[in-house]
Structure formats: C-alpha cells, structure tokens
Amino acid sequence: MAFGTSSQHGRYYDMLRTQVLQEMDKKSWQLLAVTSPTAGCGKTVTACNLALSISRLPERSVLLVDLDLRRPAVGNYLGINGNGGVLDVLEGRAPLSSAVQQVSIGPNNMLVLPGSVSSNSSEWMASQTMAAMLQTIKRDFRSRIVIFDLPPMLLGDDVISILPRTDAALLVAGVGSTTVSDIKECQRHLRRTAVLRVIVNKSTEAAGSYYGYY
Ligand SMILES: Nc1ncnc2c1ncn2[C@@H]1O[C@H](COP(=O)(O)OP(=O)(O)OP(=O)(O)O)[C@@H](O)[C@H]1O
Ligand SMILES: [Mg+2]
C-alpha cells in the first residue's frame, strides 16, 4: 500500500486518481468498479491504493467496498477486521451504517465496507438485495467516490451482473498473466460500460527519476 504523500509508488496512483476524477466529475459519476480479466492481476491493490490516493485530497472522500464475495481481501490488505461486512448487510444482520468502518492509515482517512466469503456469490451479485444495497450506498454516501473491488470478469458472471449498476470501470491487466485475447473477451462484456482506463499492472520496467521524485 502506498499511503504517504512522499511514497515512491504513490505518485502513480495519484496520476491515476487525477485522471479518473476528471472524467468522473465531468459526468457527475460516483460509482467506480475495479475488475480484471483473470485472478491475481492486482484489482485489490489498485482499488485500495486509488482509494487512499483520493482520500489524501482535502476536499474528497471515499468509500471502498469489497464486492469480491469469492476472495475478499480489502480488510486483510488494509489491516482491518473484516468480520461480516457486506454479507451482514445483504443478509439483513446489520444496517449499512454499522457495517461501514472508518479507517485511518497514516494520514489517510476513508470509509471501508469489508467483504466476506459467500458460496452464493453469483446469485448475490445478480440479486435485488444487492441492487437495493447499491442504491442505499449511492444515497447515503452521495458526497463520496465509491470504489468497488470486484472479482475477475472472465471466471464467472458476478461482474457482468454488477457492471450495469456502476457508472464506470477500471480494467486491471497483469503483465505476464493477462493476454490480448483476455482483454478482447472483456471488451465484449464492457460494450455498455465506460472503461476509464486499462491499467498495466506489475510492469517490471523501471521508470526514470524525475524532479524531486526518486
Ligand atoms: N503493482 C504491483 N506490484 C507488485 N506486486 C503487486 C502489484 N499489484 C499486485 N501485486 C501483488 O499481486 C498479488 C495479487 O494482487 P491482488 O490481490 O491485488 O490481485 P487481485 O486481482 O485482487 O486478485 P484476486 O483475483 O485474487 O482478487 C498480491 O500478492 C499483490 O501483492
Ligand atoms: Mg482481489
């Protein structure tokens, strides 16, 4: 995780943040999906770092929602207790307001709705209960950018179900694991979705040092 303002890796997420916010602001969009073709490309790392980067802006705030009911990892990556979380809300055990956690990491503050594992991920993602939860999130956190960490696109129908309920998406490709045909297959599912960027993650090419950055 890159959470200091001087962090070497943080500046790439700041560049992504600024491009994403410019495009979302233009359209008054609020809900951003983060997905990838297959597993392990870096969706959760990207979603968490982007959320931290946005939360560094004094006039911006973020809600990060772990909607990967297969392999939730946001709680683990941010070092917070992810008991219950999304599934508690979906199954009616907790109201959204008590499932959402305030998280402070270094100088960053943001809200997080941690994930939980469900063997019915596909059914939950397509459900009216999920649609209602997303409506409530949209209404109750109107002033915040909401980032959804999702499962991979090509390993089930979870993402296809949820994309029409979001405003825009980021597609994270993993260098060495994502193929061109994976991306083409994703494009077919993304025809009606605004894909703000395709992120080439895990590149091993070193970027040169620049001004005060090293
Ligand atoms: N930019 C990066 N540089 C180095 N390691 C990375 C980077 N992005 C991700 N990783 C590593 O790759 C692994 C997978 O990352 P991550 O969990 O974010 O992927 P994911 O797409 O969310 O996976 P899953 O499909 O299981 O949800 C982790 O060990 C993570 O630390
Ligand atoms: Mg993940």
Ligand 2 centre to CA of 34 (Å) is 9
Query: Which pLDDT band, with edges at 50, 70 and 90, does 107 fall under?
Result: confident
Cβ neighbors of 208 (< 8 A, separation 6 or more) are none
Domain boundaries, the chain: 10-201
Q: Please work out whether the CB of residue 11 comes within 6 Å of at least one atom of ligand 1.
A: no
Q: Please work out whether the CB of residue 202 comes within 6 Å of at least one atom of ligand 1.
A: yes
Across the chain, mean pLDDT equals 93
pLDDT higher than 80, residue 158: yes
Convert the pLDDT of each residue in 51-106 to its tens digit: 999 999 999 999 999 999 999 999 999 999 767 799 999 999 999 999 999 999 88
- 10-201: in CATH 3.40.50.300: yes
Cβ neighbors of 135 (< 8 A, separation 6 or more) are none
> What's residue 21's pLDDT?
98
Which of these, 46, 44, 63, lies nearest to 10 by C-alpha position? 46
Cβ neighbors of 209 (< 8 A, separation 6 or more) are none
Convert the pLDDT of each residue in 36-62 to its tens digit: 999 999 999 999 999 999 999 999 999
Pocket test for ligand 1, best of 13, 15, 45 (most atoms within 8 A of CB): 45
Ligand nearest to the Cα of 35, by number: 1
